[in-house]
Homo-oligomer: A and B are copies of this chain.
Amino acid sequence: MDRPATTLDELNVADEQRFVACLDGIFEHAPWVAGETAHLRPFATVSHLHDELMRTVRRKPREDVLAFLNGHPALGGKEARAGTVTPQSAREQAGLGFVSLTGEQARELEAVNAAFLFKFGFPFIICARRHTRPSILRALRERSGNSIDQEVANAPAEIEHITRLRLVDRVTGPGAPQVAGRLSTHVLDTHAGRPAQGVRIELFEVAYAAPVRLAEAETNHEGRTDQPLLAGVPLRIGRYELVFHMGAYYRAHSVLGAGELFLDEVSIRFGISEPEGHYHVPLVATPWSYSTYRGS
């Protein structure tokens, strides 16, 4: 975070200049958003503040909205690498690896981005913190086919996601909007009729050539992990894989001998489409069978 968090109470009583300064950078190159919302104070909740900021954006005439959209950097484009974007944007995109694309990938991305900009007159805007690289590329490809009216609606929807996350980082107080999702699991040993304790679990993001391991955990006496596998942040839209080391577990319990096991490392591949959702993906297993489902 660039700057210390402010409380909603402080914001509610600050003079307008300080209010605008505190929210600087949340709306890209657009201090007027805070400026035109200040007179609506006090806000009872952080969500209420965010709602009003977005209302200020949406009630502007179309040409102003277009100018505002044009203030956003192209995703992974030259500006991003040259440091002319806001530090917020650079950091958010860096998490996805976009600023470190190879030369060829960057040229390709620039080409699609450029085509988008040429077609719509403003850059492709997406809340990078809610996405994986493959899901961004898919969205870019799909949204390139939209009409301009669809994109004039889509872009503020993405800005709503982007600024909600930034606001939650910057302002503390009651009624903070829900921005984090959660991924959890649970392993049931139906050979012995009890939770499976001591199962090693790995979580991967799998859309890349080589899967990227995001987390590793071991089940406790309840068959759960002590912490959720993912929590506290939006779950990035994308494809994932859970690997449960069941062969090692059953061997440790002397259920299975040497030889090739029927089930050894059990893999469950699943997609996440709701970054703020709760995904519970349990495994109910014997050495000869298993099942899984989207639980809660």
Q: Spell out A's residues near B (CB within 8 Å).
A: 135, 142, 188, 190-195, 222-223, 237-239, 258-267, 269-273, 284, 286-296
Contact = CB atoms under 8 A, between A and B. Distances in A.
Contacts of A293: 188, 190, 284, 288-290
Q: Tell me the number of copies of this protein.
A: 4
Given A192-B288, A288-B190, A272 B260 contact: yes
A260 B237 contact: yes
A273 B260 contact: yes
A245 to B, nearest CB: 12
Contact of A269 (B194, B264, B287): B264
Contact of A288 (B142, B238, B290, B294): B294
A271 B290 CA distance: 14
Contact of A284 (B237, B259, B289): B289
Contact of A289 (B190, B269, B271): B190
A194 B293 CA distance: 9
Contacts of A188: 289, 293-296
Contacts of A288: 190-193, 293-294
B289 A291 contact: yes
Nearest to A243: B269
